[in-house]
């Protein structure tokens, strides 16, 4: 996946959500680097519970970037999203239950797309994809689930996994 500039989808989302997300980004869990390990920044954006907030975070961070997302996002990746991903993300690791055939199809088109059973394993997989000077973004892009009650619990789980790298 190579960066070729901001896609039309991203520009539209920025225009539509600018004011609302500007306030959201002031929260305590928005784009917070929890650690730097082997030259890779691990960024918590667990508060992004909807896709357009995550897309803005991806744009803000730039490349090289590995995105750790909830497996429920597999269904949201239509062709416009695939084009966006090609421009802005080097790797994608889902955590939770996802259809293997869908993940394989995404991997065939995008490359470096994987699915894991849990967040901890996803963080370890993202470490393998990340490069020094790059970032791993934990931004689920959906409400809490997979055994966590809220974004604070998800953030704590992410931080524990990063600490264990």
Write the pLDDT tens digit of every residue in 57-104: 999 999 999 999 999 888 888 889 889 999 999 999 999 999 999 999
The span from the CA of 163 to the CA of 37, in Å, is 9
Domain ranges for the chain, please list them. 29-163
With bands split at pLDDT 50, 70 and 90, how would you rate the model's confidence at 29? very low
pTM above 0.75, yes or no: yes
Architecture of 29-163 per CATH? Alpha-Beta Complex (3.90)
């Amino acid at each position: 996946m190579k960066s070729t500039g901001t896609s039309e989808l991203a520009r539209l989302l920025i225009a539509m959500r600018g004011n609302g997300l500007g306030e959201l980004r002031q929260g305590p869990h928005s784009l917070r680097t929890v650690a730097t390990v082997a030259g890779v920044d691990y960024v918590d954006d667990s508060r992004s519970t909807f896709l357009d907030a995550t897309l803005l975070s991806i744009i803000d961070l730039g490349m090289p970037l590995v995105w750790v997302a909830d497996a429920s996002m597999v269904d949201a990746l239509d062709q416009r999203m695939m084009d966006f991903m090609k421009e802005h993300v080097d790797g994608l690791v889902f955590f939770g239950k996802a259809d293997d055939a869908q993940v394989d199809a995404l991997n065939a088109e995008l490359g470096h797309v994987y699915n894991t059973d849990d967040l901890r394993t996803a963080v370890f997989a993202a470490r393998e994809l990340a490069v020094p000077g790059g970032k791993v973004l934990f931004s689920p892009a959906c409400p809490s689930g997979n055994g966590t009650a809220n974004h604070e619990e998800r953030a704590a789980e992410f931080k524990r996994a990063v600490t264990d790298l």
